[in-house]
A = this chain, B = another copy of it.
Amino acid sequence: MEALKQRICREGKILPGNIIKVDGFLNHCVDTRFMGELAEEFARHFDVSKVTKILTAEASGIALAAVCSYKYGIPMVFAKKAKSDNIEGGLYKSEVMSYTYKKKVTLICAKDWITSDDKVLIIDDFMARGEAMHGLLDIVKQAGAELVGIGIAVEKGFQGGGDTLRSEGHDLYSLAIIDEADPETGFRFREV
């Protein structure tokens, strides 16, 4: 998606350790109107008319997923990290490694909100190694729900998570795939 690539080039920062920051419009300060444009682009690729739930993981995926959910008129579920007292029994759980926080976290989702009747579109803001995504896929599988596809705003192509998912046969649609992020030469995007 050209508008997203341009925005990444204009506002994105490349930090040591291959960290890419786009937190001025995507995942700290969020330009929700722009998220609406991303939502429209996802809807060109996926048949959202058959989707019954949008699924994401807290916290940074929620804003984009909420705008998609609002525009499509489909409820959104966000998997939570770790256990709070507000969630009683009946949970799907999946342990994932978070490279952002450098520790294992357990993604949880109440069984009430994703069932075998659901057709799920997973939406997330970012994907690198795809660890959190495998947790979400695990939840969809535990629920016996149907996966419609996976929509990602920014994929760090050079970290391989997306290619693994594609090789597994998933319909993964990333709006921008960054194949190289060099503090000197900037961003290089994959041609798709």
* Distance A31 CA – B113 CA, assembled complex (angstroms): 11
Give chain B residues whose Cβ lies under 8 Å from the Cβ of A76.
Answer: 29-30, 32, 63
* Distance A113 CA – B30 CA, assembled complex (angstroms): 10
* Contact indicator B29/A85 (Cβ below 8 Å): no
Please tell me how many copies of the chain the complex holds: 2
A123 within 8 A of B: no
* Distance A53 CA – B29 CA, assembled complex (angstroms): 9
Q: Count the A residues whose beta carbon is within 8 Å of the partner chain — how many?
A: 45
* Contact indicator A77/B21 (Cβ below 8 Å): no
- What are 18 A-to-B residue pairs whose CB atoms are below 8 Å? A23-B86, A23-B110, A23-B113, A28-B77, A28-B78, A28-B87, A29-B76, A32-B70, A32-B76, A35-B66, A35-B70, A58-B62, A59-B62, A59-B80, A63-B63, A66-B67, A66-B70, A67-B67
Q: Which residues of A contact B (CB under 8 A)?
A: 15, 17, 19, 21, 23-25, 28-33, 35-36, 53, 58-59, 62-63, 65-67, 69-70, 73, 75-78, 80-82, 84-88, 100-102, 109-110, 112-113
| Known contacts A19-B85, A30-B76, A84-B100; 4 further A-B pairs (Cβ under 8 A) | A21-B86, A28-B77, A28-B78, A70-B70
